[in-house]
């Protein structure tokens, strides 16, 4: 008995054999599970210091202070340097967020002026601390 041509195994193989290997894997895979800004956390861990490195520096600084070390001890200087870098990243993200909000409101105003005014008024009311509508 002969098999028809279309039943041969090579006819069942996929035509494309491209497949990502470990598509979500990287050395800097970070999962943030709290109220912080994941974009800031990722940038800090990638460009300033990993969480373990930050914890090590904090631990060294606390131990230096506990030993009665000077305020200018090397671990405390390192902690101040990291704090400065982190604050710079946060400031950059605040600027980006403000620019994004402005662009979004400009775009909304062009498409639906009434909605933009309503949102602006609601935001202003909240900023003043008014609770009544």
Could you report the per-residue pLDDT of 87-114, keeping only the tens digit for each? 999 888 888 888 888 999 999 999 999 9
Q: How many whole angstroms separate alpha carbon 103 and alpha carbon 99?
A: 6
CA 114 to chain centre: 33
Q: What's the confidence (pLDDT) of residue 9?
A: 56
SS3 18: coil
**Nearby residues of 79 by Cβ (< 8 Å), 6 or more positions away:** 57, 58, 60, 61
Which pTM does this prediction carry?
0.52
Q: How many whole angstroms separate alpha carbon 35 and alpha carbon 88?
A: 20
- Tokens representing residue 108 in the block: 């909304």
State the first-to-last Cα distance of the chain, in angstroms, to the nearest integer: 83
Burial of 50 (0-12, 13-18, 19+ CB in 10 A): middle
Give me the mean pLDDT over the 76-85 stretch. 90
SS3 27: coil
- Express each pLDDT in 117-133 by its tens digit: 999 999 899 888 875 55
Q: What's the confidence (pLDDT) of residue 117?
A: 92
């Amino acid at each position: 008995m002969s098999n028809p041509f279309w039943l041969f195994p090579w006819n069942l193989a996929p035509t494309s054999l491209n497949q990502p290997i470990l598509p979500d894997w990287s050395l800097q895979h970070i999962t943030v599970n709290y109220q912080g800004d994941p974009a800031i956390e990722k940038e800090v861990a990638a460009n300033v210091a990993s969480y373990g490195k930050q914890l090590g520096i904090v631990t060294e600084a606390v131990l230096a202070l506990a030993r009665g070390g000077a305020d200018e001890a090397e671990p405390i200087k390192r902690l101040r340097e990291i704090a400065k870098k982190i604050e710079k990243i946060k400031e950059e993200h605040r600027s980006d967020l403000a620019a994004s909000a402005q662009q979004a409101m400009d775009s909304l105003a062009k498409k639906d002026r009434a909605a933009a005014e309503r949102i602006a008024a609601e935001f202003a009311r909240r900023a003043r601390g008014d609770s009544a509508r």
